[in-house]
């Protein structure tokens, strides 16, 4: 069975800690990792955030976060 490719990485604050949430193309969450981990630093090397998660499309995907947390989040688009 093949897993879906990760398309978006969202760095968002969760209770004072940075969390990296990984999403597929349809904004279904695939995984969650400590946002300060070395793995995340490697994944983001050379990338700039495309936009914030304050856009309406992210409201459902990040429903556990406040509007302010979503607006402050950084969304990175990964190559698949």
Query: Would 61 be classed as within a structural domain?
Result: yes
pLDDT of residue 14: 83
Query: Would 1 be classed as within a structural domain?
Result: no
* Residue 1 scores a pLDDT above 60: no
Query: Averaged over 69-73, what is the pLDDT?
Result: 93
Query: Would 26 be classed as within a structural domain?
Result: yes
pLDDT tens-digit profile of 24-69? 999 999 999 999 999 999 989 999 998 889 888 899 999 999 999 9
pLDDT of residue 15: 82
Phi, psi of 38 (to 5 degrees): -65, -35
Query: Would 2 be classed as within a structural domain?
Result: no
Query: Averaged over 6-27, what is the pLDDT?
Result: 93
Place of tokens 């302010």: 68
Number of domains in the chain: 1
Buried b (16+ CB within 10 A) or exposed e, 62-75: beebeeebbeebbb
Domain that residue 40 falls in: 8-77
Look at 33 and 16; give whichever has higher pLDDT.
33
pTM for this prediction: 0.88
């Amino acid at each position: 069975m093949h897993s879906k490719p990760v398309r978006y990485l969202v760095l968002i604050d969760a209770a004072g800690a940075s969390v990296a949430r990984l999403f597929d193309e349809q904004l279904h969450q695939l995984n969650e990792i400590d946002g300060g981990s070395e793995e995340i630093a490697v994944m983001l090397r050379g990338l700039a955030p495309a936009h914030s998660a304050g856009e309406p499309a992210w409201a459902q995907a990040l429903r556990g976060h406040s509007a302010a947390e979503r607006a402050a989040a950084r969304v990175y688009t990964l190559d698949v």
